[in-house]
């Protein structure tokens, strides 16, 4: 392969965030309630004011555009738009509309996520995604949010990591029944929630298209890529099926499919293997593995051939920004290789624009931009300038460069 790979015209080059992780005071959401209750010992601290991006989003966008990014993926918050069942806040809708317009004014194309892990507490309390009418309720919210995305938005992600949302539904069921979660593994996705999420996705796609037929819709799956030991490929496929592949297959026929990759699970003859003692770990405890993205791209392209892919998240929690650059260099080399092989990838969004609330703690820092926890002052890290500049040159590093 050549030393450099030039990104095709129109390729999305951005960073990602989610509302609950950066806005602050998302008090009507289920996660806010989980944090106040200390639902599990994985919740070390509440999100509180987060990065105060509810007020500081113009500064976040100024920074991203100034760094060279051309795209910004952010989510809108259902709990703010529909604080109680059927009662909608036109103020919240206007707020997110201003964000879409603000992105455009700065030369950033907004990718809007409609659901990123958090739902209104009222929705979760009445059964969440497993409830028979969850798709109707989601579609009603998506319809109310139409003024946000009716113009100026080309890409909508309906639901972020539905597979992890279904895992969380299973965990919540166990915890509310007084049980406890396994220390080192995640529960399987809850089946009723999985069905509800697939239904809700389809309803959301139809709703978006009825208001804005030009919008390209998809959802983003947590890829949980595997690194099978020799001869354990079948075990890897069996591991991935209920956790990932079911959700990829549900996206067949969509305008695009998002993939999110951070690390890989080693698979042996009887399933997942522990991370080796001597392996480098990131601040989330995951194995350092830049090649996770390449594995996820190939698995996804093989599972749903013909569906365009967008990397909607990829990144690393580290206090060492040189490791972030090294990790991302490796991941981008794999991206270039997969694209050169013919995999149709239409965008790359780094997770995350900002150091933010990592679902229970501010300790794992994924950000390209540091955020002072008291003053909220933003300081771009060297990785931000390095990665943003690719938005101007449109040239990716390759394994041979």
| Contact indicator for 188, 167 with CB cutoff of 8 Å | yes
Nearer to ligand BGC, 93 or 156 (CB): 156
Asked if 160 is part of the footprint of ligand BGC (rule: CB under 6 A), the reply reads: yes
Please select the residue that binds ligand BGC; options are 35, 159, 358, 397, rule is CB under 6 A. 358
| Residues 241-280 as x/- pattern, contact with ligand BGC by CB under 6 A | -------------------x--------------------
Asked if 313 is part of the footprint of ligand BGC (rule: CB under 6 A), the reply reads: yes
Minimum CB separation of residue 313 from ligand BGC in Å reads: 6
How many binding residues for ligand BGC (CB under 6 A)?
A: 12
Asked if 129 is part of the footprint of ligand BGC (rule: CB under 6 A), the reply reads: no
Asked if 307 is part of the footprint of ligand BGC (rule: CB under 6 A), the reply reads: no
SS (H, E, C) the chain: CCCEEECCCCCEEEEECCHHHHCCCCCCEHHHHHHHHCCCCCCCCCCCCCCCHHHHHHHHHHHHHHHCCCEEEEECCHHHHCCECCECCHHHHHHHHHHHHHHHHCCCEEEEEEECCCCEHHHHHCCHHHCCCHHHHHHHHHHHCHHHHCCCCCEEEEEECHHHHHHHHHHHHHHHCCCCCCCCCCCCCCHHHHHHHHHHHHHHHHHHHHHCCCCEEEEEEECCCEEECCCCHHHHHHHHHHHHHHHHHCCCCCCCEEEEECCCEEEECCEECCCCCCCCECCCCCECCCCHHHHHHHHHHHHCCCCCEEEEEECCCCCCHHHHHHHHHHHHHHHHHHHHHCCCEEEEEEECCECCCCCCCCCCCCCCEEECCCCCCEEECHHHHHHHHHHHHCEEECCCC
Nearer to ligand BGC, 117 or 247 (CB): 117
Give the interface segment with ligand BGC, choosing from 2-10, 157-165, 195-203, 274-282 (CB under 6 A).
157-165
Nearer to ligand BGC, 217 or 260 (CB): 260
Minimum CB separation of residue 356 from ligand BGC in Å reads: 7
Please select the residue that binds ligand BGC; options are 60, 82, 161, 334, rule is CB under 6 A. 161
Nearer to ligand BGC, 337 or 355 (CB): 355
For ligand BGC, the binding residues in 65-124 under the rule CB under 6 A are 117
- Based on the residue annotation, tell me whether 161 is a catalytic residue of this protein: yes
Nearer to ligand BGC, 200 or 222 (CB): 222
Nearer to ligand BGC, 23 or 358 (CB): 358
Dihedral of the alpha carbons of 87, 91, 95, 101, in degrees to the nearest 10: 100
CA dist 99 → 22, 73, 354 (Å): 14, 11, 17
Please select the residue that binds ligand BGC; options are 31, 141, 149, 351, rule is CB under 6 A. 351
Please select the residue that binds ligand BGC; options are 7, 12, 18, 124, rule is CB under 6 A. 18
Nearer to ligand BGC, 159 or 336 (CB): 159
For ligand BGC, the binding residues in 19-58 under the rule CB under 6 A are 21
Asked if 222 is part of the footprint of ligand BGC (rule: CB under 6 A), the reply reads: yes
Which of these, 349, 167, 165, 149, lies nearest to 256 by C-alpha position? 349
The one catalytic residue in 23, 35, 82, 161 is 161
Give the interface segment with ligand BGC, choosing from 159-167, 171-179, 380-388, 393-401 (CB under 6 A).
159-167
| Contact indicator for 221, 257 with CB cutoff of 8 Å | yes
Q: List 314's β-bridge partners, or say none.
A: 261
Query: What does the binding site for ligand BGC look like in residue numbers (CB under 6 A)?
Result: 18, 21, 117, 160-161, 164, 222, 260, 313, 351, 358, 366
Active site residue ranges: 161
């Amino acid at each position: 392969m050549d030393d450099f790979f030039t990104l095709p015209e129109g390729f999305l080059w951005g960073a990602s965030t989610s509302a609950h992780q950066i806005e602050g005071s998302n008090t009507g959401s289920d996660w806010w309630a989980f944090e106040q209750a200390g639902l599990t010992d994985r919740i070390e601290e509440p999100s509180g004011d987060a990065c105060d991006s509810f007020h500081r989003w113009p500064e976040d966008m100024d920074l991203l555009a100034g760094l060279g990014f051309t795209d910004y993926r952010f989510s809108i918050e259902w709990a703010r738009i529909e604080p109680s069942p059927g009662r909608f806040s036109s103020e919240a809708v206007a707020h997110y509309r201003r964000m879409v317009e603000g992105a455009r004014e700065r030369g950033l194309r907004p990718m809007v996520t409609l659901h990123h892990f958090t739902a209104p507490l009222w929705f979760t309390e009445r059964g969440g995604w497993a409830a028979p009418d969850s798709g109707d309720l989601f579609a009603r919210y998506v319809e109310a949010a139409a003024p946000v995305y009716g113009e100026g938005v080309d890409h909508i992600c309906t639901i972020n990591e539905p597979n992890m949302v279904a895992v969380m539904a299973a965990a919540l069921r166990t915890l509310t029944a007084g049980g406890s979660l396994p220390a080192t593994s995640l529960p399987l996705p809850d089946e009723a929630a999985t069905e509800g999420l697939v239904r809700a996705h389809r309803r959301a796609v139809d709703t978006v298209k009825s208001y804005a037929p030009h919008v390209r819709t998809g959802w983003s799956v947590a890829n949980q890529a595997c690194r099978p030991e020799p001869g354990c490929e079948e075990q890897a496929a069996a591991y991935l099926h209920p956790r990932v592949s079911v959700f990829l297959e549900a996206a067949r026929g969509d305008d695009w499919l998002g993939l999110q990759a951070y690390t890989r699970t080693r698979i042996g003859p009887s399933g997942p293997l522990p991370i080796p003692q001597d392996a480098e770990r990131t601040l989330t405890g995951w194995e350092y593995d830049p090649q996770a993205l390449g594995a996820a791209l190939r698995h996804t392209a093989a599972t749903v051939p013909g569906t365009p892919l967008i990397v909607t998240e990829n990144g690393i929690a580290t206090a060492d920004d040189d490791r972030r650059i090294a990790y991302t260099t490796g991941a981008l080399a794999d991206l270039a290789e997969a694209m050169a092989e013919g995999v149709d990838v239409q965008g790359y969004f780094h997770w995350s624009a900002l150091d933010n609330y990592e679902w229970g703690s501010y300790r794992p820092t994924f950000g390209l931009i540091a955020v002072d926890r008291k003053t909220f002052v933003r300081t771009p890290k060297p990785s931000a300038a390095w990665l943003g500049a690719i938005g101007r040159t449109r040239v990716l590093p390759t394994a041979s460069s």
